[in-house]
Structure 1
Amino acid sequence: MESSATDSDAPDLVCQLDNVQGMVDALTAVRWKRNQDAVIEISEHGIVVIVEEMSCLQAKVYLQSELFIRYEYGEQGRPRFGVSLGLFVDCLNTFSVPGHSSTIEIRYPGPDMQLLLKSVDSLDAGIYAEIRTRIPDTISWDYNFEPAGSTPLTFTTSALKEAIDDLDWPGSSIQITVQPDPPSVTFRGDGHGDLQIDFVYYSNADLLIAFHCDRQVSYRYKYKFLRATTSNIPGSVIRDNRGSKLTIGRGGLLKVQHLVSVARTSTSHQQIDSAGHQNPSRIAYIEFFVKPEEDEDTADD
């Protein structure tokens, strides 16, 4: 095929999504402060939104290409650009109508390297937005997450959020201990007071859904970073109650994963199989990574 000026001006990405609210919910979950920047990476596999703070806390939202009703990627490599996360979420909210699954089109880049959004499901009126992008100031820190001690734990999302919220008042770092006998996970904070929350697997099976641990591990984390992993989970995600997975990796790196539905409301029943599980292609994955505090009492890995 002969190249042309039109081909060279073609955007790297053109995609359409039929559930704006699902994308808003996913991005809101990683918006833990008002003025927050994000790095967006795009590829043939989908879109990844990365947010981090002080090289101690990182969150990633994975929007796989299968989530979109149209996904056309025409660039080599993985273009990266920075945006204001708050501005991005606020713009998306203007396209979201309660009780209606709006469809939007996202293009990048525009003539001046903007991120372009427009509504495509109405013949009578349209909404159009341009978001200024910038070159990221830093490169996101590279984590090498390797499970250690086999500690994948699955909580109901509401139980995990309530436990972390309750740990606020001691005013210090939080120690998380996972042990195989008895199979349990303990959250402990001390500071202005002492507070300990225990989840014993056999006693709390309705809250601690899945448990696997072959040896005890224990690490401490700053409360403000731990709280960010659940503080802005939208109520719709908690009501879906898909479960949130907590895993402690090698060196104490903590991973917390949430799942957010982006299925179109009016057709969501078509995405659910006979066992009641939604098609994984209609799920956005959110992962938080929290580095542990340096602590002499920390268990050796």
Structure 2
Amino acid sequence: MLFTAELIDFKIVYSVLKAVNLSEYAILRPMEEGLKLTLEEIKCTETSVYFPCNMFSTYEIYSTEDITFKISLKVFTECLNIFGDEGNPSLKLIYEDIGGPLCLKMKHLEENIIVDCDIKTFSTEDFQSISLAHECNLNKMVVNANIFQEILYRLDNSADEVNLGLSPDPPYFTLIATGRAGESFVTISKHSEEVSVYQCQKSAQAQYLFSYLRQLLKVMNYASKISISMGETGLLGIQIVISSEEKQMYVEYYVTSLVTE
């Protein structure tokens, strides 16, 4: 036995994984602080979902070695949705041996129905677990999720690129989308009641493919806070905080820039 974890109600877990289902495969890494799921690398982006250990009713790691394995994200989410929207099913994850399957034991509490699923796992020899958080250490803003989601909807949906800027001077945070109809832009002041943290060492602007940011709109439906950070190279980090029954899970999203100023 290498890893086991139990979750009483996993509907929010299914919803978030369904929203970030941008890749065929995902890397699972049980750690002492929680379970990390990273989408297999997509060009110019990296997406990870963190499930802190306090989200689980039980969470045990029985190995001192690093545990990582790859699974089909589509199969995983389909298994989690076996009971659909009915009841509040419980989930138990079991990973017994390296190369063995990830076992899912799901129980419908009201109907007392139990479903077992074994998901094939794959080696992660080519996978390198590198945190990009340290590269986004130049500027940071924490804002309420609903306002950032509204901003993305306001911008010209036909735009291919979006320019994001953080500055110690007004207007502080800017987003400019360039599309066929011209430019559309929005700003947020660091003094806005929607902003809880604003740390800006120096002005920085970078350009990104707008499609990469729009990918996050589905996840934002479940978010309470969003942290936006930028590094010297223009690497953009977006951490989405999702609260469920006084517990929090996180989605971290990194995207490389097209142009940096």
Shorter-chain TM-score: what band?
0.7 to 0.9
Q: TM-score, normalised by structure 1?
A: 0.76
Q: 1:59 to 1:109 in 2, by over 3 A?
A: same
> Structure 1: which amino acid aligns with 2:89?
S
Contact 2:228 / 2:238 at 8 angstroms: preserved in 1?
yes
Encode CA deviations 1:242-297: one digit per residue, 9 max, x unaligned: 2111111231111111112343xxxxxxxxxxxxxx3xxx211111111112x3xx
Report what 1:86 is aligned to. 74
Report the Cα distance in structure 2 between the residues aligned to 1:141 and 1:25, rounded to whole angstroms: 25
Structure having the higher Rg: 1
Q: Could you tell me whether the CA contact under 8 Å between 1:17 and 1:68 is conserved in 2? A: yes
> Which one of the candidate residues 211, 232, 239 is aligned to 2:218?
232
Offset, 1:55 = 4.3
**Native 8 Å contact 1:110 1:116 kept in 2:** no
1:186–1:196 CA contact under 8 A, matched in 2: no
Partner of 1:177: 165
Aligned-partner SS, 2:217: coil
Deviation at 1:197, TM superposition (A): 2.4
RMSD, aligned α-carbons: 2.6
2: CA distance, partners of 1:116 / 1:179 = 49
- String of CA shifts for 1:170-201, please: whole Å, max 9, x gaps: 43221101112114211112242323322231
Q: 2-side partners of 1:37 and 1:168: how far apart?
A: 32
1:19, 1:102 within 8 Å by CA — same for their partners in 2?
A: yes
Q: Give, as a single letter, the amino acid of the residue that structure 2 aligns with 1:86.
A: K
- The structural deviation recorded for 1:166 is 3.8
Contact 2:8 2:88 (8 Å CA) reproduced:
yes
- Residue 15 in structure 1 maps to residue 5 in structure 2: yes
Q: Distance in 1 between matches of 2:137 and 2:102?
A: 40
Q: Which runs of 5+ in 1 are unaligned?
A: 1-10, 264-277
- Asked if 1 retains the 8 angstrom alpha-carbon contact of 2:88 and 2:108, the reply is no
Q: Deviations over 1:10-43 (max 9, x none)?
A: x2111111121121133234223xx521111123
CA contact (8 A) 1:170 1:195 kept: no
TM-score by length of 2: 0.87
1:215-226 → structure 2 map (5 Å cutoff): 215-226=202-213
What SS class does the counterpart of residue 233 from structure 1 fall into? helix
For the residue of structure 1 that corresponds to 2:117, the secondary structure is strand
Whether 1:31 and 2:57 are equivalent positions in the alignment is no
Cα distance, 1:69 vs structure 2: 0.7
Q: Does 1:138 align with 2:126?
A: yes
CA distance in 1 between partners of 2:236 and 2:205 (Å): 11
The equivalences for 1:1-301 within 5 A come to 11-32=1-22, 36-95=24-83, 97-98=85-86, 100-109=87-96, 113-120=100-107, 122=109, 124-136=112-124, 138-140=126-128, 142-144=130-132, 145-149=134-138, 151-167=139-155, 169-201=157-189, 205-228=192-215, 230-233=216-219, 235=221, 237-238=222-223, 242-263=224-245, 278=246, 282-293=247-258, 295=259, 298-299=260-261
Q: Within 2, Cα distance between the matches of 1:209 and 1:291? A: 25
Separation in structure 2 between the aligned mates of residue 262 and residue 202 of structure 1, nearest angstrom: 28
Determine which structure has the larger helix proportion and give its number: 1
> Identity rate of aligned residues, in percent?
20
Spell out, residue by residue over 1:75-102, the C-alpha distance to the aligned partner (whole angstroms, 9 max, x if none).
122211111112211211225645x432
Task: Select the structure that is richer in strand.
Answer: 2
- Check the 8 A contact 2:142/2:197 in 1, yes or no: yes
Q: Distance in 2 between matches of 1:234 and 1:227?
A: 10
Give the whole-Å Cα distance in 1 for the aligned partners of 2:190 and 2:65.
47
Instruction: Give the CA deviation at 1:44.
Output: 2.9
Q: One-letter code of the match for 2:72? A: S
